[in-house]
């Protein structure tokens, strides 16, 4: 799907200036315990499947939609893993900071494939054989693998660098 129309309209007014946006990410696990990742077309790097919450949409609904749109995999949301802000500067100069909710999801159907223009590749990986991931994606995987009962959140007063190397 790419950039939602309402973001395109905002960008015509503010250019590349910073936008605070709601976002979601999915740690998707299949029946073999493998994790699903996409190699992003904008950066060329492997990352957690993620996207923007659109007006009128609930975050859990967004994560199900984004995984299906980007990978062809159907998921069920199991639980919230964590909440944090996450800055991103895109190759075109657009700056965003996402208020990101990361969900643990279980694959329930579909076939993993490149399903839109946002990904160069899509694949399942054993937790011991992960591709090189963006730091924020690595943090979200760590949250899923630690199997905590409660959602993680960035501590009060922490800076974005704390999201790269959390003390858990």
Check if the beta carbon of residue 77 is closer than 8 Å to that of residue 64. yes
pLDDT at 1: 53
Contact between 22 and 55 under an 8 Å Cβ cutoff? The reply is: no
Greatest CA separation found in the chain? 47
Mean pLDDT of 11-40: 93
DSSP letters of 89-133? E-TTS-EEEEEEEEEEEEEEEE-----STTEEEEEEE-TTSPPPB
Model pTM score: 0.86
3-state secondary structure of 11: helix
pLDDT tens profile 93-118: 989 999 999 999 999 999 999 988 88
Q: Could you report the per-residue pLDDT of 49-88, keeping only the tens digit for each?
A: 999 999 999 999 999 999 999 999 999 999 999 999 988 8
């Amino acid at each position: 799907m790419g950039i939602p129309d309402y973001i395109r309209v905002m960008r015509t007014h503010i250019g590349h200036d910073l936008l605070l946006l709601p976002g979601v990410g999915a740690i998707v696990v299949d029946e073999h315990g493998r994790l699903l990742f996409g190699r992003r077309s904008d950066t060329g790097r492997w990352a957690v499947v993620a996207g923007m919450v659109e007006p009128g949409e609930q975050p859990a609904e967004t994560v199900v939609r984004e995984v299906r749109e980007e990978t062809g995999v159907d998921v069920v949301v199991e639980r919230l893993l964590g909440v944090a802000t996450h800055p991103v500067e895109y190759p075109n100069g657009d700056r965003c900071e996402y208020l990101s909710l990361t969900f643990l999801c279980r694959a329930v159907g579909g076939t993993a494939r490149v399903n839109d223009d946002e990904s160069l590749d899509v694949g399942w990986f054993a937790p011991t054989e992960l591709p090189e991931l963006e730091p924020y994606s690595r943090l979200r995987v760590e949250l899923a693998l630690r199997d905590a009962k409660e959602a993680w959140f960035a501590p009060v007063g922490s800076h974005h660098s704390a999201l790269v190397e959390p003390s858990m």
